[in-house]
């Protein structure tokens, strides 16, 4: 007690001591309050033990990232038709100029004219069987006409081509909580990896979650190429080392897609020569491993065909069809050829629907196939 009295006496004697003490107490309180505030606000953003959902992170990245997705979302049907017309200009101009040259010298439908029409169609890679079919329609419909015009021929070709191309896809659906698995196959350099990147962008633009699987393990560059698409689109890529078993990567990717609840898994495969049996056997193995994990997977198997390939495309479809159950064909590089008619021949001969077409290198240059749009853009 006397100590307190001494202190009060001292403070009375020296008021500056009183103010100094008060300032010290207030500073300590302010410091304590500040530390409490900083600590509690840190806790709010970073709950210990609570990991941020990785899919949510991907969605955030997507929201800020890809120009590809923005472009697809903003591409209205008019703008796409323009892209398609530009892409098919070589095929369209070539057909038209050949027919116009022919009709300048021959204005009636005799055997010679029919032979010439046959040659024009055959040279545009439509295929022997389909060319015969189209010629027979031209002959039947125009036999009686005294004057033959490009418009008449074009209308018949359009009608018949649209019928041939209108194959309804047999689309499989994935069970709930399982990914829809799309296996992408084809020979070297046709555009498999690029098509996968473009497809991923389209699915993301439709708000699906996507994962990519690098089951082309032959070259490190192939794995990197898919990873670049993954980074560009903000999607997860499952990959192993160069030279590893592609079926094992596919197996891991399916596990990962199931665990994350991913909706669509796109599997890239190595380009394989359709006439090399061991490569085709390897594809069979990848397919078996996938089916073991998800009974009706792969739900889709797309064969990618390079439109500039020509008649070899027919051999490719035949060979791949023997090993895997093709649910569709994706035709790339239509912008680089005057022979886009190959699509008509492939559909007619194999009855496999064309599912997507590519008319350029950008994601927005790929589109779901529509027979009428295609035929109109190719012929008129």
Ligand X SMILES: Nc1nc2c(ncn2[C@@H]2O[C@H](COP(=O)(O)OP(=O)(O)OP(=O)(O)O)[C@@H](O)[C@H]2O)c(=O)[nH]1
Binder of ligand X out of 246, 271, 298, 340 (CB under 6 A): 271
Binder of Mg ion out of 94, 113, 193, 309 (CB under 5 A): 193
Query: Is 194 near Mg ion (CB under 5 A)?
Result: no
Binder of ligand X out of 335, 348, 364, 377 (CB under 6 A): 335
Nearer to ligand X, 150 or 218 (CB): 218
Residues in region 342-361 near ligand X by CB under 6 A: 358-361
The number of residues that bind ligand X (CB under 6 A) is 20
Q: How far is the CB of 192 from ligand X (least distance, A)?
A: 4
Q: Is 46 left (phi over 0), alpha (psi -120 to 50) or beta?
A: beta
Nearer to ligand X, 58 or 335 (CB): 335
Stretch that binds Mg ion, among 82-90, 160-168, 190-198, 240-248 (CB under 5 A): 190-198
Q: How far is the CB of 253 from ligand X (least distance, A)?
A: 17
Binding mask 204-243 for Mg ion (x = CB under 5 A): ------------------x---------------------
Query: Is 200 near ligand X (CB under 6 A)?
Result: no
Nearer to ligand X, 88 or 103 (CB): 88
Q: How far is the CB of 161 from ligand X (least distance, A)?
A: 21
Report the 10 Å Cβ neighbour count for 52: 10
Query: Is 133 near ligand X (CB under 6 A)?
Result: no
Nearer to ligand X, 191 or 234 (CB): 191
| CA atoms of 364 and 173, how far apart (whole Å) | 25
- The listed partner (Mg ion, ligand X, none) that binds 298, CB under 5 to 8 Å by sort, is none
Q: How far is the CB of 269 from ligand X (least distance, A)?
A: 8
Q: How far is the CB of 194 from ligand X (least distance, A)?
A: 3
Query: Is 333 near ligand X (CB under 6 A)?
Result: yes
Beta bridge partners of 331: 305, 357
Rounded to 5 degrees, φ, ψ at 265 are -115, 120
Query: Is 83 near ligand X (CB under 6 A)?
Result: no
List contacts with ligand X (CB under 6 A): 186, 188-194, 216, 222, 271, 332-333, 335-336, 358-361, 365
């Amino acid at each position: 007690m006397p100590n307190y009295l001494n202190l009060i006496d001292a403070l009375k004697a020296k008021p500056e001591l009183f103010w100094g003490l008060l300032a010290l107490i207030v500073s300590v309180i302010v410091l304590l309050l500040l530390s409490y505030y900083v600590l509690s606000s840190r806790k709010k953003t970073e709950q210990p033990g609570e990991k941020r959902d990785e899919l949510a992170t991907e969605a955030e990245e997507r929201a800020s990232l890809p120009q590809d997705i923005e472009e697809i979302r903003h591409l209205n049907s008019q703008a796409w038709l323009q892209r398609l017309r530009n892409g098919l200009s070589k095929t369209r101009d070539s057909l038209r100029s050949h027919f116009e040259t022919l009709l300048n010298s021959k204005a009636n439908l005799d055997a010679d004219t029919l032979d010439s029409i046959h040659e024009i169609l055959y040279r545009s890679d439509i295929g022997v069987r389909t060319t015969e079919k189209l010629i027979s329609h031209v002959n039947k419909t125009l036999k009686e006409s005294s004057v033959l015009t490009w418009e008449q021929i074009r209308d018949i070709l359009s009608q018949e081509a649209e019928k041939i191309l209108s194959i309804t896809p047999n689309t499989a659906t994935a069970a709930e909580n399982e990914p829809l698995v799309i296996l992408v196959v084809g020979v070297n350099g046709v555009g498999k990896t690029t098509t996968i990147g473009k497809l991923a962008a389209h699915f993301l633009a439709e708000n699906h979650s996507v994962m990519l699987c690098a089951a082309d393990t032959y070259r490190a560059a192939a794995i990197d190429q898919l990873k670049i698409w993954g980074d560009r689109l903000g999607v997860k890529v499952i990959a192993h080392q160069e030279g590893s078993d592609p079926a094992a990567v596919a197996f891991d990717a399916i596990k990962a897609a199931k665990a994350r609840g991913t909706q669509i898994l796109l599997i890239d495969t190595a380009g394989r020569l359709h006439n090399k049996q061991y490569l085709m056997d390897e594809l069979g193995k990848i397919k078996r491993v996938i089916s073991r994990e998800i009974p009706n997977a792969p739900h889709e198997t797309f064969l990618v065909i390079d439109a500039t390939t020509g008649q070899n495309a027919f051999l490719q479809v035949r060979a791949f069809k023997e090993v895997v159950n093709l649910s569709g064909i994706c035709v790339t590089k239509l912008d680089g050829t005057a022979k886009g008619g190959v699509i008509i021949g492939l559909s007619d001969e194999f009855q496999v629907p064309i599912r997507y077409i590519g008319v350029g290198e950008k994601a927005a240059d790929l589109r779901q196939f529509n027979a009428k749009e295609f035929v109109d853009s190719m012929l008129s």
